[in-house]
């Protein structure tokens, strides 16, 4: 509602579940739409389970129905973390292998696809549709009152997001990361819109995190406003690495890798993993006014969709 988006024509009605259950349910429901609509093109975005499930359903549908043979297009194609422990990496690679048209966000993505044997004629470097959304709603986001609600001042706080299984499902790794964050909190307030998965694990582990300012998950505009005015952001999210680059806000990625390397080579992103010393070193640089300077990648100009 806050973005005034049109209602979808179809709703699959698939909720949470294991990766396999969720993917299977999406395939079943999406196949019904394929049979009813007989589309000429199926466009899938990103790397979530529904991305692969819809691409796979479309590929299977055209195998069984020669009369209707929908093309498959993948937006955000070619991104690679090279980490097979990430379900998103499986989704990305399999979706790309099924797709006829591959729309990329950065040069590294095109290189990855070509190395995997995909014909360069099927690859199109168009830019980043997520940045289209960010730039479209950035001004609207400034109308948010989230800073007033949280009694925050511009650049007086850091933002934290954390939800990946590699960070929160193993207690030892989780506590190691929390120890690093506790040190950061001695220098700057940390605002943590908590993901349901992380909340569940915190309750299970019964760890003390009173050094973090925990708030419920935020809507899109509130979160954009929170990022714009943050001193820096710490995250294990992929999309936030891209958004902070465009917003020129320093970003620490709490992972050992990234599928979005342009945010490191050109943007404001730094890979810190769970290394407490590195996290503190980078925090000190920012607080001393020595934050990494970034540039906005080519075609991240709000025009990718066109």
Measure the CA–CA gap between 218 and 232, rounded to whole angstroms: 18
Closest CA to 167 of 255, 252, 81, 89: 255
3-state secondary structure of 249: coil
Query: Is residue 149 packed enough to be buried (19+ CB in 10 Å), middle (13-18) or exposed (0-12)?
Result: exposed
Query: Quick one: which of 53, 211, 232 has its CA closest to 160?
Result: 232
SS3 81: coil
Q: How far apart are CA 34 and CA 119, in angstroms?
A: 27
Contact 58, 72 (CB under 8 A): yes
Instruction: Determine whether 19 is an active site residue.
Output: no
CA dist., res. 173 & res. 255, Å (int): 11
- Closest listed residue to residue 231, CA positions, set 171, 174, 147: 147
Task: Given the residues 40, 74, 85, 163, select the one marked as catalytic.
Answer: 163
C-alpha closest to that of 26 among 1, 55, 4: 55
Provide the annotated active-site residues: 163
């Amino acid at each position: 509602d806050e973005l005034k988006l049109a209602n979808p024509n179809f709703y699959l009605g698939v909720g949470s579940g294991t990766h396999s259950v969720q993917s299977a349910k999406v395939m079943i429901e999406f196949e019904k739409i394929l049979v009813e609509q007989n589309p000429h093109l199926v466009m899938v975005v990103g790397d979530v389970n529904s991305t692969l499930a819809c691409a796979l359903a479309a590929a299977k549908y055209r195998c069984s129905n020669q009369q209707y043979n929908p093309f498959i297009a993948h937006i955000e194609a070619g991104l690679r973390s090279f980490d097979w422990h990430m379900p998103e990496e499986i989704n990305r690679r399999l979706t790309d292998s099924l797709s006829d048209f591959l729309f990329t966000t950065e040069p590294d993505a095109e290189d990855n696809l070509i190395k995997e044997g995909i014909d360069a004629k099927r690859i199109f470097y168009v830019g980043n549709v997520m940045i289209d959304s960010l730039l479209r709603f950035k001004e609207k986001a400034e109308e948010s009152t989230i800073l007033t609600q949280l009694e925050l001042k511009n650049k007086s706080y850091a933002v934290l997001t954390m939800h990946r299984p590699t960070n929160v499902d193993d207690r030892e790794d989780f506590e190691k990361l929390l120890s690093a964050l506790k040190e950061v909190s001695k220098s700057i307030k940390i605002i943590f819109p908590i993901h349901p998965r992380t909340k569940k694990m915190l309750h299970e582990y019964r760890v003390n995190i009173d050094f973090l300012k925990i708030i419920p998950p935020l809507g899109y505009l509130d979160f954009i406003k929170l990022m714009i005015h943050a001193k820096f952001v710490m995250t294990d999210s992929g999309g936030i690495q891209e958004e902070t680059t465009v917003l020129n806000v320093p970003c620490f990625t709490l992972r050992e890798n990234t599928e979005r390397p342009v945010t490191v080579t050109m943007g404001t992103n730094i890979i810190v993993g769970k290394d407490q010393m590195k996290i503190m070193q980078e925090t000190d640089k920012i607080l001393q006014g020595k934050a990494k300077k970034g540039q906005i990648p080519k075609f991240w100009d709000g025009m990718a969709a066109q």
